[in-house]
Structures are given as C-alpha cells and as structure tokens.
Structure 1
Amino acid sequence: MQEILFIEHSATLRHAMKQSLINHSYVVDIHEDFETGLKKLTEHLDQYEAIILGWPEENNTSTDEMLAILCEAPYDEIPLVVLSHEVDSAKIGWVSSRLNTAFIMWDSFEDTVKTLPQLLTHQFVEEPFCDIETDLPITILLVDDSPTARVKFRKILDSCGYLTTTASSSTEAFDLATQQKFDIAIIDYFMPDENGDLLCKKLRNNTQTANIRSAVLTSTYSDRVIQSALSAGAIECMFKNEPVALFKARVAAMSRGIRITNRIEQERTRLEGILTSVGDGVYGVNTAGIITFVNPATRNILGYRADEELIGSHPDALFHKYESVNTYASTIDLRHLGLAIKEGKELQGVETIFTRTDGTPIQVELTIFPLRIDGKHEGAVVAFRDVSIRKLLEEELKWQANHDPLTKLLNRKYLEDQLDHEVQRLKRSDEISALVYIDLDRFKYINDTIGHAAGDQLLIEISQQLLGRLRKSDLLGHLGGDEFGIVLRNVDHDNLFSVADNFRELFSSYDFVREGRSYKIHASIGVAIIDCETVSYGEVLANADIACHIAKGQGRNSTHIYDPDHHEKSVMDLELGWSTRIQTALEKDSFHLYFQPIMPLADLDLDDLPEEGNLLEYLVKNQSNHCSTYEVLLRLHNGHGEPISPNAFMPTAERFNMMPDIDQWVLSAAMKRMAALEPELENVTFTINLSGQSLDPDILVPLFSEGIKKYKLDPARFLFEITETTAINDTFAANKLISELKKLGCRFALDDFGSGYCSFSHLKRLPVDYIKIDGMFVKDILNDTMDMAIVRSITNIAHTLGKETVAEFVESADAIRLLKDCGVDYIQGFYIAKPAPVIFKNNLQETKKKLG
C-alpha cells in the first residue's frame, strides 16, 4: 500500500482528508505542523510515495524551509498536492515552478484521490518532432524584448526540432508574420512598444496571419493578464518560471493540433482529387442550361465518345429527357432542376434518371453547385454518379427487411405494419376485415423426430399451400416459428368462419412426405375481426392469439373466432401473464421445491394421535417415527416470498404446452436436492409427478439416467406418479415410459385413482406399484358411507393385484383410524404435514432450525 505524508494544521480538515485517503486504500502519516512534517520527510524520504500539503495561513521558519526544500533535489521529484482555501498569484507561481505538483481548493478536496494516481504514474515525455514522414516542420515565431529570454527559449525550441525565428518587438514580429509562414507565435506579454495581447489581436484580425496560433509568455501570474491575452486571441498562457518540461508540453500540445489540422486538410484535398478523377461525372452549364464542359467520367457513364457531342447542347435534349422521368418514376421534375440552375440555387443528393446513348435508363444522384465568377452568376456545375447498382441493392435490402428468408413470405414486422394500416383504413369505412392466426399442431414433433431441416421444408411447403388459397387483396406472413398470419380484407362476417376453416381443412388434406414417410399436418386457427371500432393492430393480434389458444384448448385442429362479448380475453390475459412468469421461472431457476410426507399406516399407534394435526412434527418430537417418503411439489413465490398454489399456474402451463419443461426442471432439481441431503436422510424416497405431456421416454429417461450417474443416486429412491386420466388417454405411451424407467430401478404410482373411467379394468395392464386414491373419496369418508365403500374396494383390488394404496387429503385422526380399517397402506394430507421447503429429521431442533 502507498504511504502519503499529510501536513495540515486544521483537525477537521485532517480528519476529512484522512478518511478519503483511507477509503481509497492509502496509508496516511499525518502531522499538524510543518516542523515535525519536515523532520519526518528529511529522515524518511524513501518511506513516502507522495506529499499532501495544506498551504500555511501564516509563514514561519518551518513553512519557508519546507517550501524551499521541496524545490531542491532529491525532494523536488516526489509528487505533491497543495490544498488551499483561496488562490493567488504567489501560490500558483510556486506550484507552477515545481514538477509533478497539483493545486486543489479545499472545497474540492475529494479530487485529491483522483489526482494522486496521475501524479504517481506521471512521466514527462518529449514530443517527437514529427509523428509521420509527411509532417512538415512546425515553424515558431518567438517574440520577447529580453535577449536572455530569446536565447533561452530558442534553445529549448530548437532542441525539440522546431524551426524558430525570433523578434524583439511587436512591430518586428508583425512584419515577419506577414512575410513568412508561421504556425505558432509565442509572445511576451510586457514589451516596450506594445503589449503582447495587442499583437495577438493584430495577428488574429489580419487575413495573412489569422491561421497563426498565438500563446502569451509572462513571468507574472495575473488573472488580468491571462484574461486579456485569451480575449485577444491567444489559445495558451505560458509562464517563464515554470519547468522546462511543462513549457515543452504546452508547445507540443499546440503542435499536435496544427499537425492534425494539416493532415485533415491534406486528406480532404487528396480525396477531392480522387473523386474528381474517377467515378463521378461532372459537367458545367451556363444560365440557359447549355453544357459548357464535361469530364471524362461524364462521357463514360452516358456512353459518349467525344466532349463535342455534349458541349453546346441542353441536357434535356440529350440524356435528361422528360419522357424518361415519367416512365421511370424519377424523384425530381426537370423544370425544378432548370429553375435551380437559373436562380443559382444549390441542390444536393437529387435522384433522377439519365438516359445513355443506347437508350438504357440509369438512376443517378446529382448535386448542383452554383457557378460564380467574380461574384457574378454564370451557371452551375453538376456532379452526378450512377447509383443503379446501389438502388438495386437498396431494393434487395428493403425486400429482406420485409420478408422471412426461409419461407419468402412477409415477415412479422411488415405484416404488423400492414395490419396497422388496415386498422386505420377501416376507421373510415363500413367494411370488415379479419386476421387469421394459424399455429401448426405438433410442429415440435416433426423437428424433434426427423430433424430441423425437415421442419424448415415443412414451413416452406405450407407457405406455398397457403399462397394458393389467397385472394389478390389478402396478405400472408410468417410470424415466426410455426405461426402464420393472414390479413383478409373486406370479408363477409357471415362467411368468415367458413373462409377461415377452409385454411384448416387445407392442412387436414395435406400430407407432408419426408424420406418415404407421410405425416399428417393439422393446425389450430384463431380469427379476430377488424372493423371501425377496432382500437389498434396490437389489439387485433392479441385477440387472434387468444382465439388460437382457445382453438388449441378445444383439442387442436379447430378454428375459433374471437368473441368480445365473452370473457375470453380477461382469462387469456391472465394465462398469458402466467405463461410469462412460468417461462421466467424456468430460465432463472426461480421455482421452489416443497415436500409433503407420505406416512406408512402399519406402525402407527392409533391411540397416540394428536387432535390438532401436525402428526409428523408430533411423532418426530417424541422420536417415535421417522417418515422416509416425500412427494415433491412445485411452487412459485409471490413478491412477498409466499408460495403460490400450483392450481393458479398449472392450467396455463398445460394449455401452453409448458409441462414437459416444468417436469424436466422438477426432476433435475429433485435429483440435485437428494444428492445434498444429510447422511441421516440417505434412505429418503422422492415421489415425482409427471404430466400427460411428458410421456416421451426419449427425453425423460436420458435426463434421469444421466442425473443418477452424475449425483451417484440409487434409482430405487425415486417413485414417479402419473394420473389415471393420463394413463388411460395414452396407455401405450404410459406403459412405454413406465417400462423404461422401471428398468432403471424406479417405481411408479397411479395418481388420482377413481377420478377417471373404467379404472379397474386398466389396473391389470398398468405396471404400477402403488395406487393413490383420489382425495374426493377421502375428504368425506367419515360422513359418506359410499366413499368409504369405494376406498375399501379400491384397496382390496389393489392388494389382489399386488399393489399398495395411498390415501390423499387426510385431514383428521378419525379419518386415519377409518382408513386403516379399510386396509389402506399409506396416508398423505394436511393432518400429517403441510408441504414445506424442508424435510423433517429425527432431531426436531435441527428441523426447526431448517424451517426458520
């Protein structure tokens, strides 16, 4: 760490500066008087990286010695920051005469920590004479009535490679400046014949010398002198007693500005020459518009062989014909150009059309410059370039900006723009239009099974099929992914459903053939009406999207027209909001796992059950039972960190086909959580729910297989649950998934048993290990003898088939006693424990600590 010597009389200022330095990792050695500070400096010079000095309000021997020694070797090389409450010429003069020194007002003392790094790393570097070989030497006019000053500063300037000329008075200097070319004038402020500021003003106001950059040189720091010099045209003030290195740096800075200006001017001249000699055509006309001269590029572009074929004729008669302007939709009228030439107006970037000698039209961009000779308007100079290729490129870029590169259809942005125009048009019309929103069903299946190339080809073929069904007034666009949009202009409301449904039937009758296999393609279609009451194109898109999602919810391969009289939009708005939150939770890993115990009834003492509930906590507290099976549940948290019931967002996830992603997230998170469990929980089993959208073993099985290998987990500790309805709706897929996962050592449970249809007949064909009795039969089992009979029957049949049963929604001790009497094997519900983000252990204190 860098140590700073800090001397300041005021305790308040010392404290403020000390805190600022410490906060920026400096070590500070503080002294309140100059005598002790001087002693420490002379005895331990190598100890300090820099000095911060509060300028003394009163001078005494120690302050004078300190200021003197800081200007002597070796102390003159140490970086120094001087702080003062006010500025005056004496302080500025002293600071200016010392290298590596900064002056800061106490009001801005916090700037010290910004200045120190610059002082600590600063090195003066001589400015090279020329940066590149093409630089011309910088010429300097040095003006001073003192021979000693002239000799001193000329030697300094000559040593840096500047070409220096001296003058002893303002009059001599001005005469030299009007006779020779100088880049810089360094002028002493106080001179016998006239002060330097007057010479600065003369140089600035004279056209021959106006480009000379002036600097005033003085031995006295004075606000008046500096202000007067700058007002007169000086761009720099230099001090005779300042370090030589600082003087060199000031001159070098002025030189850099001159060199940069010179290079810019040289480059401008060079580019002008290039543009004149190559591509652009240039011709001149008189006030009557008759051509007076042409350059070679004009002949080449227009196809003429000699200047004489052009000179003496009017452009309108040769290559700028009025017919060509109309025929090729030029952006400028010929009469407007002729008027500009006649009136001496300048026109830039005008686009029009010229005609070559072979009759070929070419698009050109021209600029008209008024031609004035001795202040008299004599015509104009016209510069033009062939922009035909550029125009073709612009058209191509415009096409690309408005079209989808894969399907070659209009893209979403352009379709939205046209939709906006249609909305605005219909505000002044009685016509009705519509937006047809098409979403391919199971497009992801094509991509995943036969590849993205096949998916792309399908989109291309679908685009061509749709184009064949459009009227000339209709617009078809690819909205992205597997979604298309059609703007139907001026449609009959009564026939709208039929028109839209025809597009769906188009898909139904179309077979996509790939690698010898045929695939049936279906689509869900949503329609939104556009009329004079439509507010915006965004509303139209939202309504069509809502209608499309409703069509999907109706079983896919259907058409739905948005009806504003129903509550579809409010429902869908809610669902769209949930879908965004779900997607965000998946992307940001912000779902939460909760765990609810599943307790065996066999070893439960029915005479020792709490009446208030919280059975698991009661048993753990008495160390009489330890639960080893937990159902893994998913929760979102609200803004207050409170869990949100899955009933709020799961329907949306199912409607938007987000369940596979959610199931994969839960499985991955559960495996990671199991791997992190404490040793005493090594026998805990997790039961994980799988939705009907996640029955594809090609995705789930590899994910689970890789996870148990990665975390070195026993697959027997995982039990997967699928609902009865899911299993019955797709028995083949359910059996395949169950078979694949059971091969790895997992077990399966059939969830919500009894809520479906023909339940008993399916039990024999589903290789599950457990039957979870639907909670609707358990909740009222104490009051409904039919529910009790159903639970007993399910249990008996399950046991006959070698399966065990789990009763859900257990809410009381009496219900537990009755369920055990029915033969139920396991129980689950709020009476045992509510879902929690932690797992109960035998040691209640550890459990509570976790929960806290």
Structure 2
Amino acid sequence: MRYSLVKRLKAQGFEPDTLEDFRQAQAILKGESQAFGTLVLGWPRNTSNAVDDLLVLLEEPGFHHLVVIVVSEEQDPARKSWVTRRPHSALLLWENIEEIPECITALNKLNAPQPNTNQDIDRASIKVLLVDDSPTVRVTYNRLLTGHGYQVETAASVREGYQKALDTPFDLAIIDYFMPEQTGDELCRLLRDDSRTAGVTTSILTGTYMDNVIQSSLGAGAVECMFKNEAQALFLARVDAMSRSVLDRRVIERESKHLEGLLNSVGDGVYGVDNRGRITFMNPLARSLLGFTEDDVVVGRDPHALFHHSFSDGTPKPSNRCFLSQSYQTGERLSDWHTLFWTQAGNSFPVEGTVYPVQIENDRQGSVVAFRDVTARHLMEEELRWQANHDALTKLLNRHYFEEELQKEVQRVSRSKNCSALLLIDLDQFKYINDTAGHAAGDELLIQVSHRLSNRLRSQDTLARLGGDEFALILRNLDRTQIQNAAESFRQMLANHSFCYGDMHYNINGSIGIAMIDADAESPGEVLAHADVAVHIAKEKGRNQTHLYSPENEHRRLMDRDLGWSNRLRAAIENDEFELVFQPVFPASQTLRDGDDPDPDACWDRLHDLAGPDQLQYEALLRLPGEHQELIPPGAFLNAAERFSLMPAIDRLVVEKVIALLAREPEAPVRNIAVNLSAQTMTDPELVDDITRLLIDYRVDPGRLSFEITETTAITNLDAAQQLITQLGSLGCTFALDDFGSGFSSFGQLKHLEVDYIKIDGLFIQGLVSDPMDRHVVLAITQIAHSLGKKTVAEFVETLDVMEAAHKCGVDYIQGHCVGPARRWSDIRGD
C-alpha cells in the first residue's frame, strides 16, 4: 500500500520521504519539523507505545503547522476523535487513496494564513443559550464565548433550558447531548416544534463521536454537532458560522418586512368575478379608484357595464369585443394588459393589471382581477419622451430631434420643387457674459433668446438649441430672397434686445449662417456643414452679420481656413507650443454646503485643505496660446485637427507632458491626472506601446495616470475601447467614461467596459436643481454605476445648489467652475 501511495504522489509532482518505524518518525520530526509540510500516517491495526507517543507529539502546539493525513482501513470513533481534535488533519480510507494528492493540496491551502472573515460578525448582537449539566463545562464555554463578544446565558437541564428559551429570545442554543434527565436532542425538538422558539438555531455539543448521536440530533433540528475535545478555534469557527447564518436571516427578514411594506403601499385595486362574469368582491382601494362608496352595491353586477364599457372617445364598447369580458367567461389568464376604466363620475383613467383564474380542486371558480391606475406613469412616459427631444434649459427642441427633422426636410424637398433653409445662430457676447457675470447669467440669456426666437417663428418652422449658445432654425417653403430677409429680421431682433442682469446691461448680437435646402442638398450633414461655414464667415466679417453659403465662393474660403489651422497646429506640435491647464476633481463628501463662501478661489482653498493627497485628482485640459498670449480652447481647432489626422500627435504630446510633470514632481499631492483621448488616437495600434515606453522612460507609477474617452467614442469603437482599457488597465492606469448619458444605448454596453469612473453628462448635472427628470436620470446612472463597482463624477457643477443636489444623488466626485476652475500647474503649486 505504501508503494502504491508513493507512486501516485510522485506522479502528481510530490517528493515523498518514506519511513516504516514510528520511533524514527518521532525523532525526525523533533529535529526537523519545519522541513516537512505534510505527514501521511498509516494508522496501524494494533496500537503501541511508539504510535501513541507519535500521536501525542503531533497534538502539541509546536507541531500544529504540520498537515496530517491519517490513512486507515476503517473509521472508528478513536480515529475520528483524534482527527477532529487536531487542527489541519484529515482521515481517509485506504480504498480512497486516489484522493490523497488532492487532499494534501486542499489542506495545505487551508493551512496557509487566512484573512479574517469574521470581522463582519456583530457577535454582541447574538444571544447564546448554553445548556449542559456539568458546571465545569458551562463555566469553560461561557468564558470562551463571552470573551469573544457573545451574550451568553446558561442552563443545567433540558427543562431549564426550554423555560429560559420561552422567557428570553435567543439566536443560538448550544446543547449537551448526554444529560441525566433528558438528552439534548429532545430540547432541540421542543424548540423546533414550538412556534415561540422555532427561530432558535440549535446545535449539539458532545464529548463522544457516535453516529447515532449525530443522526438523532440532526433529525431533531440541530444544524451542527460539535465536540468537546476539539480545538477551541474550531468550536468558535462553528459558532461564528451559525451566527453568520443568523445575521443573514435577520437581513432577509428585514428585507422581507420592507418588501411587505412596499407591497402594502402599492396602489392596486382588486375585484373578483364568478364564471358568469359577475362581481363577487371588491377591495376598498378598487372602490376608491372607481368612485364607489362603501354603501354602493357592486357584488352581483357586471363589471363591463360598471367601469370598462367604453372606448377612449366615449363610444360604447360591445362586451364581445372586450378582452376582459371574454376572459371572465373563458377563464383565460391575462398578464400585463392595458385598458381604460371609467369612474362613476364619468372620467376615464388608464389601468394595467392581471386576470388570474381561480381553481379549487380542478374546478374553476371565477377569476381574480388586480389593476392599478397608471396615469402617473403615462405622464412620466410622456415627460420622458419630451425630455428626449427637448433641451432642459430653454425647453426648445434639442440637437437629436432637430437633426431628425432636418433629415425629413432634406428628403421632402428632394421630392418637390420647394425650397427651405437652415439658419444657424451663434450669440456673439455669450462667452463674455458667462465669464463676467457667471453661468447663471448665461443661462438666463439663453432662455430669453429662446423666447424671442420662438415668438417670431411660424407654425411650420422648427427651432432648436444645438448646444452652448448655438440655435438652429428650419424655415420651410421660402425663396432665397424671403430667406435672407427672414434671417436679417432675426439678426435685428437680437441686436435690438438689451439683456439686463443685476445692475449690468448688455447689448446682444448674433452671427447667422444660412444654408439652402433644395434639390441640390445631398444630405443633412452637408447642409449643417454649409451653415456652420456660413456662421464662421459671418463672424469673420465682423460679427452681428448674416451670411448665405454659396458653394462656388465658400469652398476656397473653407479650405484656406482649415489649411491655416493645419499649419498653425503642425507648428505648435513641432515647437511644443501647447499648454495644459488642470481642473480639480474633488470627493463629493468634502464639497461645500449652504453658508460656505461661493467664490471659486475660496472653494479651491477650502477643498484642497479638506482633501488629502490620495484623493486629489485633476483633468488635464489642452490650450493653444493665441497671438496675444490668450489661451485658445480646443473647440476652436479640434475639428481641423481631426480633419487633418493630427489628433494622435496632439494626444501623445499631452500624454508626455503629463507624464513628465508627474516625473518632475513625484511628491506632488495628487492621486492621478486624467488625459482625454480622441477616437483617432484610441484606434492607433501603436498607442499602448508608446504610453508604456513613456511610463518606463520617466519612471512614473501608471496608477497616477488616468485616461478619459467619451461615451460616443467608446460605443462606436467598442472593440478598440475594450482592448485599450484592458492593456493599459493591466499596467495600473485608470479609465473614465466621459459625457455619460448622452446616449442611453451605453447602459447596455457599460458592463463590457471595465472603466473606473463614470463622468455624467453636464446637461443632466446643470438641471439637477430645477428638473426632477434630470435628478432621476443622475440617480439611476449613479445606482447602476455603483452596482458595477464604478465611481461617478458630476461635471459642470457651477453652483452650490447643484453641488448639494449631486451629493444627495450619491455622486462620488464633483468637477466644475464652482469647486475649481482650470488653472496652470504653476498656479496650483503656488510657484
């Protein structure tokens, strides 16, 4: 048998040493106990002093590190008791020696240092009843359990233990099996069968391993059998396991009560009908919803005639065309049906519900109908549809809806001889007002302009806000002269408007670009591009102008402008002219509250004091110095950079600048700095190697570098995004999904993108205070992100009210002008 076992162990990669003499084994272990990890001991048929001495030695604490596997021809109580008493031991039969290699591996894994899994156990909340006729045992285990935080009461007999369980609620009962008057399994059975004590988790404590004792105890309701001669650590581990089950049951019971409370508060009406379709009962809520009082007789009446008799326009609905009436007659089960019910006052309301046939001993006894008023949900659905198509601030149509309308208009005009136009309106003073009077003033200006534009609109025209200070109009069925006159009237209307905010007065102008929509228009995108070019030309002509796009005149101008940007950007790349500014991202738990100084500088200083180095994060933002050293934002040149495929070079430049900064200041109090990656850069196959090389060359911890990719970029290039996140994430870099929420298709893909942060689209954040729908959206995004183990960031936080609302929605981090505008690194460091 030893030969067979050694051969099997060697085949599994082990290097066994074999001994035939127990005295020799004892001597070797005393001299070299640390040289071995596992002892496989063949239990002899006949014991001897040498065997007993070896077994005693192995029970000493100095040898507990050794894994011992006892191999025997039978499993008698003595062998089981020894294995149970000694830690890191197991008993196998010779007929099962093929399991020994796996057993060695498993026991050594368990023998390794284990994390403390009991830190989550609130032992102080667990009440234990200890029942044993021996005073010594009661004192010993009482001290052991109370010393580890448990609440313990003791009893000396089954009768006393049962009475104490009736008088005091206990979570656990640990019961000695052999007691003079009655055995412990009888107390287990009493506690189990009494409804007052059925919730007590019971276990048996015995000094003898006997199969019939264990079987009887488990049959009486005990969930565990513990032995008095086993190690105290094992005893406590068993009690902890039972306690964990008790605590889990408490959580389930709390959740069950919570769910029961929710279900009781749901506004469901219920009524029953017999096989003829006559009402047999109706609950109070159904009566209330349908306008019946307690005195109104409804039992025995036809529900079709009472409250689902008509279509939505009030015309009668024949019962043979009513699916509910048909289901009453046939006993058909209906789920999630929708219809209209009518109140006694003659008002209709939408309902949804279910019809369940009642079967008693295979005999149909009518049906039960449950329904709920879904008026609020219908209104919410209407609100959601409105939100999906409208701008939250101005209440105008949004870009998504407008582009669909433009698509329809281009198709319509292509099939007719009509002519329409697209007008793009860009406010000339918007940035100045935002910078000088604040974003609240800018928002108020946008609202006033939207009202003025709407008042001049014809019913057949379409007005939308595309974003920022850009508005768009579709003027239908006008000739070229009429369109130019209309555009000029819009420009004059803006020029005549004086915007007042506080004590300040501003003259408002707008630059208007016009693009014709006629039979020559190839696509909506082309029309938008033409109008965009026309707007830029209107601005170049001195602003407060209108300009009609002309293909033969504007193509060269457009090319010249783009080529000019191309040359400027190439020179900036070659001469390293780009600059970076950094905007902080603060933990939401440390942001400001009502009463704090709203000045951005004061906010900046206070939040930096609150946040530690391991919490401060920054986003690196690109700027290009202008002719007068003003910093040009990327919105002015990124389109040209993308058209000339310069984004990979620009993004690499930014990445290297950030890595060099982190290398230059290894002790800078910053957790990480985030860099934005464009779609062109993200799909570059050499990007990962280049970033890895930079991190190695500069010796920068990858965990201090973060990357942001927009939701649209990630979803459009899902495979490339997944590969990039996986490869750079394996180095330690983190990722954020930017502008999240701009397309709800991303919810379905979010679980496939292993990003660390979700940056919620600023359009939802800006409306948090004033728009309940935005709050619901932000709350939903936050909950979904947290369920996937991701953190959320609220962008464009401009006021303390918005900051507080974001914090209440569970957002983890805050970013925006209110908590910290973008600054040069030298300004941040105080150089």
The TM-score normalised by the length of structure 1 is 0.45
